[in-house]
Amino acid sequence: MYFLNILKPKGMSSFDVIRNLRKKLKIKSIGHSGTLDPLASGVLQIGVGKATKLLDYLESDKEYIADIKFGYTTETFDCEGDKKFIKKPSFLESDLEKILHSFIGKSLQTPPKYSAIKQNGKKLCDIIRNNPNVELDIKKREIEIYSIQLLDYNGFDEAKIKVLCKKGTYIRSLVNDIGEKLTCGAYLSNLIRTKAGNFTIENAQDLDSEFVKINPLNVLNLEKLELNDNEFKRIIQGNHIKTDKNFNKSNILLTKNNKLVSIANLSDNLIKPKRLFFEGIV
């Protein structure tokens, strides 16, 4: 049971990465947190074995570096779609900075129709590819962008930005919305995820590496309680225990000999196990 910080290459889907790892590690139980489009590269959080059950507890804020092309739009909001000319860009760097700043904070965003979001059990991208003329009712979602930094601008039709945002933000949609506000259109030409929670691109490994196994206790940002022998026996039998200690969150990690035993729920000083992970603990 461990995590991996994988550097997903451009051109490979997130599930392609899982398929590759299953063959290499000879383990079927492998999952990821936060899908990356084939166009994108960068950090992919991987859970192996029982760590797949812990993926939802990882820190989920994301950081991206995105390349933008102005003057055109595409149906996919990225360079893979057919390009439609809107108009020649004619804005100042200060105009771009102002527009970028307007997206900081919480807002409602319409996800791309070419996405893995499901509608009636089917992915939107599959629905639209099977029936290009279908009318889709895509619900807007609340997103939150913490910061946007303009890294580079060629003074005409290309820019590079860094975005720190909450999980669930579509950078393709953000770029499309930026183009709409500038009235010249825009699409995403390249995307790199540089950070996902505590996983950074500096420590990410490619698929040909000898992988460094990441102990869940080192990356799960939850408070811990070391169990004594009696508490341990009760927890692994599915029973609750009492505590007088104060915790800031309702989810806590229970450990024994510095090994993860359980994700537990704390309510009214009662700790109840939600998932058990103990293996070979003495």
Query: Coil, strand or helix: which one is 179?
Result: helix
For residue 32, give every residue at least 6 positions away whose Cβ sits within 8 Å of its Cβ, in sequence order, or none. Answer: 14, 17, 18, 44, 45, 46, 47, 55
Report which DSSP code applies to 83: P
Distance CA(274)–CA(20), nearest Å, equals: 31
Lookup: tokens for 17: 């990465």
Instruction: Report which of 146, 141, 143, 158 is spatially closest to residue 63, judged by C-alpha positions.
Output: 146
Beta-strand ranges (E) seen in the chain are 2-8, 30-33, 41-48, 62-70, 72-73, 84-85, 105-109, 118-119, 122-123, 141-153, 158-165, 186-196, 199-200, 224-226, 241-242, 251-256, 259-267, 270-276
Distance CA(90)–CA(196), nearest Å, equals: 35
Look up tokens 């820019």; give the residue: 159
User: Annotated catalytic sites, by residue?
Assistant: 37
Query: Coil, strand or helix: which one is 143?
Result: strand
Domains parsed from the chain with CATH numbers:
2-58+198-217 (3.30.2350.10), 62-196 (3.30.2350.10), 222-276 (2.30.130.10)
Distance CA(141)–CA(151), nearest Å, equals: 27
Distance CA(131)–CA(48), nearest Å, equals: 37
The tens-digit pLDDT sequence of the chain (282 residues) is 899 999 999 999 999 999 999 999 999 999 999 889 888 999 999 999 999 999 989 988 999 999 999 999 998 899 988 999 999 999 999 999 999 999 999 999 988 766 666 666 666 666 666 666 666 667 888 999 999 999 999 999 999 999 999 998 999 999 999 999 999 999 999 999 999 999 999 999 999 989 999 999 999 989 999 999 999 999 998 899 988 888 888 889 999 988 899 999 988 889 999 889 876 444
Query: Is-contact 131 120, C-beta < 8 A?
Result: no
Distance CA(244)–CA(199), nearest Å, equals: 33
Lookup: tokens for 261: 């035993």
Compute how many other C-beta atoms are within 10 angstroms of the C-beta atom of residue 103: 19
